[in-house]
Every structure is written in C-alpha cells, then in structure tokens.
C-alpha cells in the first residue's frame, strides 16, 4: 500500500479535531492489516468569542491552547477499521490567571465499508467520545463533561487529475441532561500525487438546542455545558511522505462564524508512522 493511498485513510484526523470535537474519520478505507499512528502538536488561540451570536472581547484577554494528540487507525479487514484518538490539552488564559490541563475526551470508532467501486466509496461509522476531566464552574476547562455516542455516514468520490471529494454527516448523542446533542458535517476537496497531499475542508457543528452565554437560563459556570455551540470552520492541510514508513503533516484552520465559541485560529504539525 503506497503512501498516496494510505494518506486518504488518515489525513482527516489532524485537520478536523483541533478546533472542536468534530469527526476524526475518513471516508476512504485501508487494506487489511494496514494502519497508521500520528503524533501531533496543535496550537489554538483567540482574543474574541461569540456570546450567543454576539462577538465580544474574551475574558482574561483570551485563550491559548496546546494539544498533544496520539491518533491511530488499523484495518481489520478491507472494509472494517478501528480508529482512536487520545489528546492531552493545556488551556491557559492570555493573562496567565487561569490554567487547566489534562486528557481531553478520548475517541474510539469502528467504521465499515458499505459500497465501493473504482471512484465511489460509501461507509458508516459508530463510536464514542469518553468524557475526561471537567470542572463545569471553570471557564477554559476541558471537554464538556459528557460522553457521546456518534453515528456518521461517509462518502468519497475520486475525481480526475488527482482530485477527490469527500463528505460526511452524522449526529452526536450526549449523555446527561445538560449537554445538547449536535449535528456534525464536513466537505473536503483533496489533491494527491505520489509526493504530496493537500486538502481544503469546510466543517460545521449545529447543536440541537441549548443556552446562550449571557442569555435566558444561563447562570455562569454550572451551565457552560448546556450552551448551544455552533460553528463554521475552514481548514487547509498538507501531507508529505518521507519514505515508505514516515510522513510529515502541517495544517492551519480558522473559525469563520460561531455561537458560544471562541473566534479561534489554529495550526499544527506532526509526524506519521505507517504500521
């Protein structure tokens, strides 16, 4: 299996997970017995945020976030893969008065190929994001305190001249009474050769319901998990093979529009290792 094929199964991770808990899945599938491990560093920051749909200066001058993430996938058969992600996140306010760090929500998915031909692939995935450390009363805390069960539909189409188009959509059901369920979706245009992959991804999240920061029913820290978090996100990534076993990745992203979320930019780098 060449890196040109391998990267189609792995590059979604680093460029969708970093801003918020979006999909870590790809719509393409590796051959049985193949897999990859990616270690990544991501930096995210913002000085403004949306309280409801109103943008304003962020408390404590804003947020700096560092993410160290370990991602892996492995093809059990030609049509069934397991995918995991283990991120460690450090959040610090820009005036250095507030700081939290620890394991963010751990993700584990199984995805299955439903149909494939030379150009088109359709699949589905189900998985969970396991809740990690969280203090509801702490602004800039980690996660949202809820475990989720997510279902995703995955579609991929190979275009001429090395181009590809991928789409995925799904729904995330959260545990507990506070955290709203959410719809997740993204569309990605990719370009691949033997020495380079580049992708442009537009992703969204739409909460089913929830409160607005500063709005009716919002009472500060304990109700942060109940906020309606929406966003539109744009990401650009590159993936370069460095021989048969290694690769290098780099990416940049920004929040285009949002609700109860920071107006963030993020960038990152990381090595990939083929199993």
Mean pLDDT of the chain: 88
Distance, CA of 231 to CA of 52 (rounded, Å): 11
pLDDT band at 100 (very low <50, low <70, confident <90, very high): confident
* Percentage of residues in the chain having pLDDT higher than 70: 90
Label residue 160 exposed, middle or buried (CB < 10 Å: 0-12, 13-18, 19+).
exposed
Q: What is the pLDDT of residue 10?
A: 39
* Percentage of residues in the chain having pLDDT higher than 90: 72
- Cα 57 → chain centroid: 25
pLDDT band at 9 (very low <50, low <70, confident <90, very high): very low
* Chain segment 209-231, per-residue pLDDT in tens: 999 999 999 988 788 889 999 99
The answer on pLDDT for 158 being more than 70 is yes
Q: How many helices (H) and strands (E) does the chain have?
A: 2, 15
Give me 113's structure tokens: 């190929």
CATH topology of domain 3-274: Porin (2.40.160)
| CA angle 130–51–147, rounded 5-degree value | 10
The answer on pLDDT for 8 being more than 60 is no
Give me 156's structure tokens: 């991929």
Distance, CA of 144 to CA of 154 (rounded, Å): 26
Q: Are 206 and 59 in contact (CB under 8 A)?
A: no
Distance, CA of 271 to CA of 109 (rounded, Å): 22
pLDDT band at 5 (very low <50, low <70, confident <90, very high): very low
* Chain segment 56-84, per-residue pLDDT in tens: 999 899 999 999 999 999 999 999 999 99
Cβ neighbours of 41 (radius 10 Å)? 14
Q: What is the pLDDT of residue 3?
A: 40
Long-range pairs for 97-102: beta carbons < 8 A, 24 or more residues apart: 97/60, 98/60, 98/138, 98/139, 98/140, 99/140, 100/133, 100/135, 100/138, 100/140, 100/141, 100/142, 101/142, 102/132, 102/133, 102/142
Q: What is the pLDDT of residue 16?
A: 34
Q: What is the pLDDT of residue 12?
A: 32
- The residue among 133 and 198 whose pLDDT is bigger is 198
């Amino acid at each position: 299996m060449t890196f040109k094929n391998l990267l189609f199964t792995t590059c979604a991770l680093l460029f969708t997970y970093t801003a918020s808990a979006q999909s870590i899945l790809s719509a393409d599938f590796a051959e049985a017995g193949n897999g990859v491990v990616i270690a990544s560093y991501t930096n995210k920051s913002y000085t403004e945020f949306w309280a409801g749909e109103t943008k304003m200066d962020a408390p404590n001058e804003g947020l700096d976030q560092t993410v160290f993430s370990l991602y892996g996938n492995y093809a059990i058969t030609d049509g069934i893969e397991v995918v995991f992600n283990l991120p460690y996140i450090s959040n610090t306010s820009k005036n250095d008065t507030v700081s939290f760090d620890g394991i963010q929500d751990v993700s584990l998915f199984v995805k299955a190929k439903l149909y494939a031909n030379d150009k088109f692939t359709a699949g589905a995935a189900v998985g969970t994001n396991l809740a990690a450390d969280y203090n509801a009363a702490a602004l800039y805390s980690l996660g949202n305190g809820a475990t989720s069960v997510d279902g995703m539909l995955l579609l991929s189409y190979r275009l001429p001249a090395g181009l590809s188009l991928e789409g995925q959509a799904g729904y995330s059901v959260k545990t507990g009474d506070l955290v709203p369920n959410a719809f997740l979706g993204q569309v990605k245009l990719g370009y691949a050769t033997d020495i380079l992959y580049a992708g442009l991804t537009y992703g969204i999240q739409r909460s089913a319901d929830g409160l607005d920061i500063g709005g009716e029913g919002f009472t500060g820290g304990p109700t942060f998990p109940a906020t309606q978090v929406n966003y539109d996100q744009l990401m650009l990534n590159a993936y370069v093979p460095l021989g048969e076993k290694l690769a290098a990745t780099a990416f940049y992203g920004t929040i285009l529009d949002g609700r109860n979320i920071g107006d963030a930019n993020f960038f990152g780098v990381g090595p990939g290792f083929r199993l």
